[in-house]
Structure 1
Amino acid sequence: MPACPICASSQTVKNGRIHNGKQRFKCHECGRQFVEHPQKKVIDQNTREWIDRLLLERISLAGIARVAQVSEQWLQSYVNQKYAQVPRQVQVTPKKRGLTIQCDELWSFVDHKGNKQWVWLALDADTREIVGVYIGTRDETAARQLWNSLPPVYRQCAVAYTDFWAAYAAVLPNKRHRAVGKETGKTSYVERFNNTLRQRVSRLVRKTLSFSRSLENHIGAIWYFVHYYNASLLV
């Protein structure tokens, strides 16, 4: 009889068969039931936490599966579940008046380059926190969704610096909207964050084989990194 994989006891007996007909054993010492040479790998908590960190780096899912030594099928299922649970609302520190935000749009795509998905971002110029996010088309409706994603204090008080894209002028309050060119430096922080996103989220690299095939996962991956980025500013 095979030894118990938990306590190494040789006091084991046959104990029926599992669903695929393979012999099951039971240990008299610790009570563990097991099969010899199991094919299904148990992914422990340490490996899951490691994968969570790898998802924040510019690594494809296939690369993560190779490094973590898990199957791509299991990893895809794990990622689907994780991204579905990511909150789709910013979590920022409390603010008062005198706020300034910078807004910009980042091009991306899902499945093929014809399916464009623009990442709209609003960044607090003082704290560098991402305070607004929307992923979708590049039109007035999307600009309004970005505006609605801002915490109330920003919609009430903040001065917003943007480029000259017409959708901003149609949505943002006229008295608090400043359309400026890149040479002013008034949108430099959010433009720099765009570069950070492309460097850290592999599905946003311009020429990539790691592009998203699911819009939900595309959105989830971006929100996952945004929450991590905001939290890192507090450390």
Structure 2
Amino acid sequence: MAECCVKCGHPHVVKNGFVAGRQRFKCKSCHYQFTTEKLERGKPLWMKLEAVLLYISGLSLNAIAENLDVSAQAVLNWVRDFARANIEKPEPGKVVVVELDEFWHFVEFKKNRIWIWKAYDRDHGQLIDWELGNRDCETVERLLERLAQWQVTVYCTDGWQGFESLLDEHPDAYHVATKTETKAIERNNSDHRHWFARFKRKSKVVSKSLEMVDLTMALFAKFRVNGNIELLRNWKLSLLA
């Protein structure tokens, strides 16, 4: 029998039935009911990892919730928490060719467009950085300020006029403005829209916050470009073994 009440500390407690197979007690002083063993709450870790895997594989939050028989809010929390813990960008180093490009998305409604500007390291096949904002020079400048930490030899872009004026401020790197030199990042954009439901051009999935767009970018970079989804899949399987 429990020695004392876990709430008020009174020593007079009596047995009061069972809950989830555990003995329940009742305090005769404050009438608080409790068990001496902590009940396990929440879903298992393997299920949360399965939700992240399905998200990275192109399912919407609602579709994942239906498959796992949980709420869409629970899936959102799992994906968001996992992504927050795994935001990872390559450490600045020396690269020869960096391709710059952008594609549009929207938050809450289609007229509220945002632009995702991306920097792709052609030599190592890595997405090294990105920036969310408008289709303007200020947004690109924020990205270029971080890219200044890299030893970039050549920037390859399309013919957007803003690139020429902005890259003139980076005399250490040569600028090539032609779509024939941005094929790698265009393929990356295609993969981006393929692997995540929220980025598909024709989709019922709607992004409701910039944070989830940015966190999804982090998942895409880590598990679909710079890394391998098999690492996550093997981790989940090890929990089931």
For the pair 1:209 / 2:201, whether they are aligned, the reply is no
Q: Secondary structure at the match of 2:43?
A: coil
Runs of 5+ unmatched residues, structure 1: 6-11, 18-23, 35-39
Say what the alpha-carbon RMSD is for the aligned residues: 3.0
1:80: Cα distance to partner?
3.8
Judge conservation of contact 1:201–1:222 (CA < 8 Å) in 2: no
Question: How big is each residue's C-alpha offset from its partner over 1:26-74, in whole Å with a ceiling of 9 and x where there is no partner?
Answer: 5xxxx6466xxxxx96211111221222221211101111122222232
Matches within 5 A, 1:19-34: 32=37
Q: Secondary structure at the match of 2:203?
A: coil
Question: How big is each residue's C-alpha offset from its partner over 1:141-166, in whole Å with a ceiling of 9 and x where there is no partner?
Answer: 11112212326223xx3201100001
Matches within 5 A, 1:10-25: 13-16=23-26
Question: How big is each residue's C-alpha offset from its partner over 1:140-194, in whole Å with a ceiling of 9 and x where there is no partner?
Answer: 111112212326223xx3201100001111211366111013xx3x110000000
For the pair 1:165 / 2:175, whether they are aligned, the reply is no
1:224: Cα distance to partner?
1.9
Q: How many residues align?
A: 207
Question: How big is each residue's C-alpha offset from its partner over 1:4-47, in whole Å with a ceiling of 9 and x where there is no partner?
Answer: 65xxxxxx644249xxxxxx785xxxx6466xxxxx96211111
Distance 1:149 1:16, change over 3 A: farther
Judge conservation of contact 1:107–1:119 (CA < 8 Å) in 2: yes
1:95: Cα distance to partner?
4.3
Distance 1:117 1:33, change over 3 A: closer
Judge conservation of contact 2:120–2:128 (CA < 8 Å) in 1: yes
For the pair 1:199 / 2:198, whether they are aligned, the reply is no
Judge conservation of contact 2:107–2:209 (CA < 8 Å) in 1: yes
1:198: Cα distance to partner?
0.1
Question: How big is each residue's C-alpha offset from its partner over 1:109-130, in whole Å with a ceiling of 9 and x where there is no partner?
Answer: 1111111111111111121111
Runs of 5+ unmatched residues, structure 2: 1-16, 28-32, 232-241
Q: Secondary structure at the match of 1:121?
A: strand
Judge conservation of contact 1:14–1:25 (CA < 8 Å) in 2: yes
Q: Secondary structure at the match of 1:118?
A: strand
Mean Cα displacement is larger for which, 144-153 or 192-201? Answer: 144-153
Amino acid at match of 2:47: T
* Identity within the alignment, %: 25
